[in-house]
Amino acid sequence: MRWYPVPLGFVFRSRAKEEKAAVADKAPLTDSKQTRDPQAPKGRPTPKRSEAQSQRRSVANTSMTRKEAAKRQREERRAALDRQRQALATGDERYLPARDKGPVRKLARDFIDSRFNIAEFFLPMAVVILVLSMVRVPALQTIALLLWLVVIVLIVLDSFVTGYRLKKRLAERFPDDNKRGAVAYALMRSLQMRRLRLPKPQVKRGERP
């Protein structure tokens, strides 16, 4: 009788491997393109909100070069300055600088623009006094000194009266609003000539604001 050799691997094959192979054969095949159930686990951790925002920001930034971003910033700055310049001429509250915004500052400007202020004539009077003081005539130099003292006293008195009246008007019109610095803001405006004031005057002289 003839004997045929039997492979030892077949005889001593692990039973565990056979069971694993059987399970793998019975497992259903899944399509990788199949839509995932929204309720099923994602298989990866959900990114944090800050990480997601930084990713979106990085994507937005990478779509624009540094040169293009700088150009856009210059254009936006130029447009903002143009709007502010136009607002200073028209009094548009939306684009005025922060120091000029608000109803309190507007009333302070209108109060100064509606009256004659001695302080607004300070610059032309100072030029006249300077010219007189440079003339080598003792009498004219004495007159220039007296004029200088008179102008200073008149400006101080007028500023005191203007500040008192404006403070009273602001208290009546805006009793609950912040009025800090409004009187000083108005007095500084009174030192400027009317045609040089910014924002431009929106009321006529003698008109009650």
User: Whole-number mean pLDDT of the chain?
Assistant: 80
Nearest alpha-carbon partner for 198 in 184, 208, 207, 185: 185
Long-range contacts of 94-100 (CB under 8 A, 24+ apart): 96/199, 99/185, 100/199
Q: In this predicted model, which residue has the larger pLDDT, 33 or 152?
A: 152
Instruction: Kindly state the average pLDDT of the residues 164-178.
Output: 95
Most confident residue range from 8-12, 36-40, 79-83, 161-165: 161-165
Q: How many whole angstroms separate alpha carbon 22 and alpha carbon 151?
A: 111
Nearest CA among 105, 101, 127 for reference residue 189? 105
Rounded mean pLDDT, 137-155: 93
pTM of the model: 0.65
Confidence of residue 59 (pLDDT cuts 50, 70, 90): very low
